[in-house]
Amino acid sequence: MLNAKLKGYRAEEIVFVNKRTTAKPMEIQTKYSYNVKYTNTGTCRSELTVEVQEKTEPENFHIKVMMSGLFEFKEAPREVLHKETFNTIFPYMRSLITTITANSGIMPIIIPMMDIESQSIYKIEKNNQIEEN
């Protein structure tokens, strides 16, 4: 049973640059950033930023999307909430990036799945202080 319930999400920033002049296949790289801000009232706000860019010519092709999510949560360890909120919001981000690229006239980009539990460090923000785990 999940400890965090998604109340809503939105894309807060979308940057898309496609100035490629060749049709050759792209080699892309992806960067992820995720943070959660918790309140004392049982809500938290997540921020997921994903950047996708062409490895050799990032100035000609890149996408940056920042998405936020609002969650209600039950009392649980922050590490558990952090993982649950990420796993809930990530599919929306993945779908948005695929939609943006598919509707722009290029081959759709499907960003790889991300397992937050496999990351060696992530940040938890509580009352404007950041704890690193």
The H-assigned helical ranges of 1-133 are 78-102
- Which residues of the chain, if any, have pLDDT below 70? 1, 117-133
Position 35, amino acid:
N
Phi and psi of 131, rounded to 5°? -105, 140
User: Which residues have CB under 8 Å from 92's CB, separation 6+?
Assistant: 9, 67, 69
Q: For all residues of the chain together, what is the average pLDDT?
A: 88
Walk me through the domains of the chain, giving residue ranges and CATH numbers: 4-107 (3.10.420.10)
pTM: 0.84
Tell me, what's the pLDDT at 125? 52
Position 71, amino acid:
F
- The predicted-structure confidence for 45-80, as pLDDT tens digits, reads as follows 999 999 999 999 999 999 999 999 999 999 899 989
